[in-house]
Amino acid sequence: MRALIPLLSALALSACVTTTPTVNGGGGSVAVPESVPVSVARAVEVTRRMEPVAEQMCRTQAPLLNCDFEFLVNRDPRAGVNAFQTINREDGRPIIILTLGMIRTVRNDDELAFVIGHETAHHIAEHIGQQQAAARAGAEVFGTTAQRRGASRPEIIAAAQRGAMLSTSEFSQRAELEADSLGTILTCRAGFDPVVGARFFSQLPDPGARVFATHPPNAARIRTVSEAAARWC
């Protein structure tokens, strides 16, 4: 955890949903930021604007949750380009972690604001608990079905694992779109442009319709943001 530092303290301590933005070329893919990346200084300012908006919506829509968001930056270069939400098991405090690679790859404040809005939306919508419940339900259904068919113990375990993966994939795709929609509202309420922010998807490999994909196609995500922005912003 030594690589993690509070984002809002990053300037004092440092000189400064994973998917790496890519471009296709001959033998593979390489990360290529399209313009001057956002600095940690700008990330601090974006976070300061997003935090009160996210906490207010959290307290309004989910009053039983801990809505005191903590924002951390992972300085480990091996962490790649990533952002995710987790929860402190001791006090239930929501934690949003941005890698330094993410901060340096987004092309403007709107993209970073949208990423933050998306991740905070996952907490407000209580997606972590729902995803765990979906995995358990899928494992139970597939495992029970295999048992009734007379499968061996290893076969039952394998079936339960497939069920958990399938249910997690199906839930995750719905949750991503829900977080995109709610994140759009958060982003525009903080004074950023979510439609511009969603252009960050153009840097990500498109998961398309892959089996067990945890993210929906990029086109569906962009459409969700556009529709939410037209309605709420």
DSSP per-residue letters across 78-122: GG-S-EEEEE-TTT--EEEEEEHHHHHH--SHHHHHHHHHHHHHH
pLDDT for 12 = 32
Q: Which position has the token pair 């976070």? A: 47
Q: Which residues are CB-neighbours of 94 under 8 A, at least 6 positions away? A: 58, 65, 66, 67, 68, 69, 70, 85, 86, 87, 88, 120, 123
Confirm if 164 and 181 have CB atoms less than 8 A apart: no
pLDDT in single tens digits along all 233 residues of the chain: 456 667 654 433 232 233 333 333 333 333 333 344 678 888 999 999 999 999 999 999 999 999 999 999 998 889 999 999 999 989 989 999 999 999 999 999 999 999 999 999 999 999 999 999 999 999 999 999 999 999 999 999 999 999 999 988 889 999 999 999 999 999 999 999 999 999 999 888 887 656 556 789 999 999 999 999 999 99
Tokens of 207: 């998961």
How many angstroms separate the CA atoms of 222 and 198, rounded?
6
Query: Looking at this protein, which amino acid is placed at residue 65?
Result: L
Cβ-based neighbours of 173, under 8 Å, separated by 6 or more = 213, 214, 215, 216
| Distance from C-alpha of 221 to C-alpha of 180, rounded to nearest angstrom | 7
How far does CA 156 lie from the centroid of its chain? 32
- Give me the pLDDT at residue 34, please: 39
pLDDT for the residue 204:
81
CA distance 201 to 218: 6
Distance CA 141, CA 121 (A): 29
- Judged by DSSP in three states, 229 sits in helix
Residue-level pLDDT at 6: 73
